[in-house]
Structure 1
Amino acid sequence: MTQDSCATPKQDIFLSLAELAQAIGHVNRLELLEHLAQGPRSVEELSTRSGMAFANTSRHLQVLRRAGIARTERQGKKVVYSLTGPTEVVLLIKALGQMGEVHVATVGQRLNASYRIHDNMPPVTRDELAVQLGLETVLVVDVRAEDEFELGHIPSSVNIPMLDLHQNLARLPKDRMIVVYCRGPYCVQAYEAAGLLRSQGLKARRLEDGFPEWRALGFPIEISNVSDAVEP
């Protein structure tokens, strides 16, 4: 009798979970999952955003699809990928990150060297921001790309992509707290944005994690056309 034939139901479940872990256990696939957490994307878009070759991007996406993590839809000549369970995927990666930050020295070292060097202030928590949304004392700024903002964003937030932030500094209010957010906990642009704004005399902090975690944990979102205008 083989070892497989003696497997218990628990071992069968653990085997399936191990296969799931193997599917996400690659640096490129984790990055693709971060992009897919913003919303559906074509293979071409994911290739451009990740900087990977089209064929390599497609290969990694197929691994995610076979594992049941992603699904496909054909739109004309394009194949569009989306997450089968956005909430579960986002929270799984969040838990993985928390484990790494506590127990893997290189993760903390990289955060200090490449992230906290821009902004080492404690972030605004989701609960704190939720009770301040819509108040005149707070301005929420989404520094993701315009098309990501259009797929979903925090209510009342304005979209100023990181590349455009410097040229919009004069339009930002000095009498309001500015809360910035990006794609997730390892999107360095939120750190860079908060640091830049404070260096220019503005009151600014970043939101903990990013938009996918906000949505996954049940906080309200909006889906609408982008508006990058900042009210004086």
Structure 2
Amino acid sequence: MADHGAKAALYDALAESAKALANGRRAELVDVLAQGERSVEDLAAEIDQTVANTSQHLQRLLRSGLVESRREGTRIYYSLSSPVVGDLWRTMRRAAQEHVAGLEQLAADYLGDRSKLRTMTRDDLRARLRAGDVVVLDVRPETEFAAGHIRGAVSIPITDLKSRLGDIPDGADVVAYCRGPYCVYADEAVRVLTRKGVAAARLEDGFPEWVEARLPVSGG
């Protein structure tokens, strides 16, 4: 019979990745890093934490092997250690969607009323891109667009959208996307465009899911 202590140690090690993600701020960090490499300072701003607190969370993820780091001058940059980490996060998220009570209400409290927002599936968007009859807006920050984006997409960060409405062709059918199903940028873009009379929809999820489905990408 195998030694039970050895078995316990094995299962403790197998649970290490889940333990590292068992914190909302670290989950946020993984969600942002699924878009591409970012500096500690950028990550701190994204999750609304101090650089010191963010560094502590990143060190925990680093010890678990979920992220890796590199130094460039005085700055330290982090990235996911492999695509499997992004898969793990998305699986955890899907499990929560299926089994965590009250999650829909929490999402609604954060995202607002989505009932009037048009959506488009990945398959439909791919077909529209092939037909060339849609404008795809990546409304994430420019650094994330540069790290990788849907092939054919145009970068207009949500912070610049109102000042760049003139960049969108008259009569265009627009699809906006951002980081994933709980990212507010695409929702806000659709609301802004709709108020201006532009036919707009949001991609049903986001760029990581597009990559996961092995659909065409550019950059990075």
Report if TM-score (shorter chain) is over 0.5. yes
Deviation for aligned residue 1:202? 1.5
CA distance in 2, matches of 1:169, 1:74: 38
The TM-score normalised by the length of structure 1 is 0.84
1:78 aligns with 2:75: yes
Deviation for aligned residue 1:178? 0.7
* Total equivalences in the alignment: 219
Kindly tell me: are residues 39 and 211 of structure 1, through their superposed partners in 2, closer, same or farther at Cα, counting changes over 3 Å? same
Q: Which residue of 2 aligns with 1:144?
A: 140
Deviations 1:86-135 (A, max 9, x none): x2222222222222223223220022333251554463121221222253
1:185 aligns with 2:215: no
The TM-score normalised by the length of structure 2 is 0.89
Q: Which residue of 2 aligns with 1:89?
A: 85
**Residue identity in the other structure for 1:62:** Q
Gaps of 5+ in 2: none
CA distance in 1, matches of 2:188, 2:214: 27
CA distance in 2, matches of 1:216, 1:101: 19
CA distance in 2, matches of 1:119, 1:169: 24
Report if aligned partners of 2:36, 2:79 keep a CA contact under 8 Å in 1.
Answer: yes
Deviations 1:3-62 (A, max 9, x none): x951464x5543223221110111110111112111112222222332211111111101
Kindly tell me: are residues 113 and 134 of structure 1, through their superposed partners in 2, closer, same or farther at Cα, counting changes over 3 Å? same
Query: Percent same amino acid at aligned positions?
Result: 39
CA distance in 1, matches of 2:106, 2:32: 21
1:33-182, aligned counterparts within 5 Å? 33-85=30-82, 87-118=83-114, 120-121=116-117, 123-182=119-178
Report if aligned partners of 1:184, 1:213 keep a CA contact under 8 Å in 2.
Answer: yes
Report if aligned partners of 1:174, 1:203 keep a CA contact under 8 Å in 2.
Answer: no
Report if aligned partners of 2:117, 2:191 keep a CA contact under 8 Å in 1.
Answer: no
Local SS of the residue matching 2:78: strand
Q: Identify the match of residue 202 of structure 1 among 198, 201, 209.
A: 198
Local SS of the residue matching 1:141: strand
CA distance in 1, matches of 2:210, 2:169: 25
- The root-mean-square deviation of aligned C-alpha atoms, in Å, is 2.2
CA distance in 1, matches of 2:39, 2:125: 32
Q: Identify the match of residue 24 of structure 2 among 14, 24, 27.
A: 27
Kindly tell me: are residues 15 and 122 of structure 1, through their superposed partners in 2, closer, same or farther at Cα, counting changes over 3 Å? farther
CA distance in 2, matches of 1:67, 1:187: 26
